[in-house]
Chain A
Amino acid sequence: MHVIIGVMPATPTVLLLSSNGAGMGHLTRLLAYGRRLPGQVHRHVLSLSQAVPAVEAEGLTWEYLPSQGASGLRPATWRALFADRVTEVLERVDPDVLVFDGTHPYSGLDVALARHPRTRAVWSRRGMWKPGRNGHQLQKAAWFDSVLEPTDLAAPADTGETADAEAVRVRPVTLLDREELSGRAEARAALGLPADGPLALVSLGAGNINDTDDEVGAAAAALTANGIGVCVTAPSIAERAYAGSDVHLVRHFPLSRHFRAFDHAVVAAGYNSFHETLRLGVPTLFVPNTATSLDDQAARARYADRRGWALAAPTLTDGRAPALVAELVERGPELAAQAQADDPGNGAADAAAELLRVAALPTRTGAAR
């Protein structure tokens, strides 16, 4: 193994760069790394997600950059904007290491990094890509000094392009650990939920709460029929209104801090939801979102079901929702206990250590540290 000894700056700066995406996943993962860095490390966020102001709660400074989709610019125009904007931030903030979290490093990032060679770069990318998809992106590993993979509890079921790709692999990453969770009463008070009675978290993306042909609506109807209160997430990037429906809106970041408010969860099987519910012990029914372009949520959910960590169903709109909810009530706690027993622990601190290792690498030729 080739070892390079470098010198750690006294007060290193880490730039956390998140792509946009359907939820908070990229930002949350970066925050998980950030909060495990030593206190003297400057942590600054540049994000393409409009949810980025949430990082203020972690004491981080942040900036926003509109995505190509949000701006509507021509892809080539946006790439030039992106390259110039990242360059401006690199020159002003002068980070020792940049961490990009996403499955698709944008063209232009290579340009910006080449313009500012003092800054080292890490590509943080989760696995579980749908088989045969996105393989050409792996070539972009050459832009980075290190590829960091927060592994997946369902990794044995990973048949995507990253499964055999070179990477520094750490245990699955979640923002919080069990001991950081609030108690049940405190959690319910913080979220404005009733102190008593069973409650379920439903997080299946934007949906129609009143339509049982819709996953959210089917879940809500089945839970309500079982006497379980329904709590839906209202992420700051969503505008879905549930006004008039008999559900509780929960809005808090990080919501996982208050997971003890919920007796059950019916959630999609994205990386964060999957690992947070399993690691933090919430009895869960996974309903994978199969519309994602790359994330193999179906494989992840099936694996959890097979291992006896949670229930999984491809859909709730086929009439099986009542039976699945009944099974969740009966077996959920036992499954959640098994998931916790099999939990290998949080890899976020290992990831932070990797960032510091890269930050201390010698500079590239011609760059002053």
Chain B
Amino acid sequence: MSARPGTVRARQQQLARWARRTPGYQATVQHVLPAVRRNATLTDLVWRVFMPQHGVGTLPVPFTGGRHVGGRDAALLPVVGVLALGLDHDEVERLVEQVADLQRCERSFRPLLVLDRPDFATARRHGYVVELVVPQQHWADHPQAGSRTEGAATSWSAYLGRRLADIVDHYQLWHLARVGPVGLDPLDLAVLRAIAPRLPATLEVSVPTEQPPGPPG
């Protein structure tokens, strides 16, 4: 019998707190581990022992991938950002349906919606995670350090670039697909359709018949 997720989480947090209080923890994290990671021989050894495969579908990335994929290996599916800016509500609705249809059909990716409008309910119906960026038309309304200190205010495009780099980095995106008013860009759609043949044949991914609940707010 396995422990409940909440219990497991509590134990993990307790263990983490204990580890952080252990003498030498900070030195280990700040100096020893980076040195080990920079050691080419050790890195190669670890890679050979623990990561015999490489490429899409071989590294687990914990992430809420939505209601349309499940199974043992769903966490191995790549996370794909879907960048949809400047759309109206109906266009977002159509886009999300397109992404969901593609995901059900391909079973090859997990989408992260990057929007500039809070269409949370639309995303929640499919269990998709949403990252929001400040819409360009509201940029001037947001408080800016530069405007008060007489320094150079951040441009919206510079802000967007930083946010997207941050999103790609933290969510370990395999690809960032762009979107127009009629849905996924045709080239990006082709890239997404090219994922499935690249996945390991042994991957167990299914389309759940009983849909699990979406992510909490």
Q: Which residues of A contact B (CB under 8 A)?
A: 9, 11, 13, 20, 42, 44, 49-53, 61, 63-64, 66-67, 69-75, 77, 80-81, 84-85, 88, 91-95, 136, 236-237, 239
Which listed residue, B12, B131, B143, B159, touches A61 by the CB 8 Å rule? B143
Residue of A nearest to B117 (CB): A53
**Contacting pair A81 B145 (CB below 8 A):** no
**Contacting pair B118 A71 (CB below 8 A):** no
Give the residues in chain A near B174, CB-CB below 8 Å: none
CB distance from A87 to the nearest CB of B (A): 10
**Contacting pair B148 A70 (CB below 8 A):** no
B171 interfacial contact with A, CB 8 Å? yes
Most buried by B among A13, A20, A66, A75: A66
Residue of A nearest to B158 (CB): A92
CB distance from B35 to the nearest CB of A (A): 20
In Å, the complex CA distance between A277 and B149 comes to 44
CB distance from B196 to the nearest CB of A (A): 22
CB distance from A134 to the nearest CB of B (A): 12
Most buried by B among A70, A77, A237: A70
B215 interfacial contact with A, CB 8 Å? yes
In Å, the complex CA distance between A235 and B154 comes to 35
Which listed residue, A11, A13, A63, A70, touches B216 by the CB 8 Å rule? A70
Residue of B nearest to A81 (CB): B170
Q: Give the contacts of B119-172 with A (CB-CB under 8 A).
A: 120-121, 124, 129-132, 134, 138, 141-145, 148-149, 154, 159, 162-163, 166, 170-171
Query: Considering the complex of A and B, which 8 residue pairs feature the smallest CB-CB distances, nearest first?
Result: A94-B145, A72-B64, A50-B217, A81-B170, A70-B215, A237-B217, A42-B143, A50-B120
Residue of B nearest to A91 (CB): B145
Most buried by A among B131, B145, B171: B145
In Å, the complex CA distance between A80 and B129 comes to 17
In Å, the complex CA distance between A174 and B131 comes to 30
Given A9-B148, A50-B124: 6 more A-B contacts, CB < 8 Å:
A44-B142, A61-B138, A81-B170, A88-B162, A88-B166, A94-B144
Give the residues in chain A near B141, CB-CB below 8 Å: 61
In Å, the complex CA distance between A354 and B6 comes to 37
With A77-B62, A81-B166 already in contact, the answer to whether A71 and B138 are too (CB < 8 A) is no
Sample of 18 A–B contacts (CB below 8 Å): A13-B143, A20-B216, A20-B217, A42-B143, A44-B143, A50-B118, A50-B120, A50-B130, A70-B217, A71-B63, A72-B63, A74-B62, A75-B12, A84-B166, A84-B170, A92-B144, A94-B144, A94-B145
- Total contacting residues, chain B, CB less than 8 A: 34
Which listed residue, A42, A64, A88, touches B132 by the CB 8 Å rule? A64
B17 interfacial contact with A, CB 8 Å? yes
Give the residues in chain B near A71, CB-CB below 8 Å: 63-64, 129, 171, 215
**Contacting pair A49 B63 (CB below 8 A):** no
Q: Which residues of B contact A (CB under 8 A)?
A: 12-13, 17, 62-65, 118, 120-121, 124, 129-132, 134, 138, 141-145, 148-149, 154, 159, 162-163, 166, 170-171, 215-217
Which listed residue, A80, A85, A93, touches B143 by the CB 8 Å rule? A93
Give the residues in chain B near A66, CB-CB below 8 Å: 129-131, 215
Which listed residue, B131, B159, B217, touches A51 by the CB 8 Å rule? B217
Residue of B nearest to A82 (CB): B170
CB distance from A300 to the nearest CB of B (A): 24
With A63-B132, A73-B171 already in contact, the answer to whether A93 and B142 are too (CB < 8 A) is yes
Give the residues in chain B near A239, CB-CB below 8 Å: 121, 124
Residue of A nearest to B142 (CB): A61
In Å, the complex CA distance between A136 and B141 comes to 39
**Contacting pair A69 B215 (CB below 8 A):** yes
In Å, the complex CA distance between A33 and B149 comes to 25
Give the residues in chain A near B163, CB-CB below 8 Å: 88
CB distance from B62 to the nearest CB of A (A): 5
**Contacting pair A53 B129 (CB below 8 A):** no
Give the residues in chain A near B145, CB-CB below 8 Å: 91-94
CB distance from A251 to the nearest CB of B (A): 12
**Contacting pair B129 A92 (CB below 8 A):** no
Give the residues in chain A near B216, CB-CB below 8 Å: 20, 67, 69-70
CB distance from A281 to the nearest CB of B (A): 30
Give the residues in chain A near B63, CB-CB below 8 Å: 71-73
**Contacting pair B64 A70 (CB below 8 A):** yes
Give the residues in chain A near B132, CB-CB below 8 Å: 63-64
Residue of A nearest to B215 (CB): A70
Residue of A nearest to B112 (CB): A71
Give the residues in chain A near B170, CB-CB below 8 Å: 73, 77, 80-81, 84
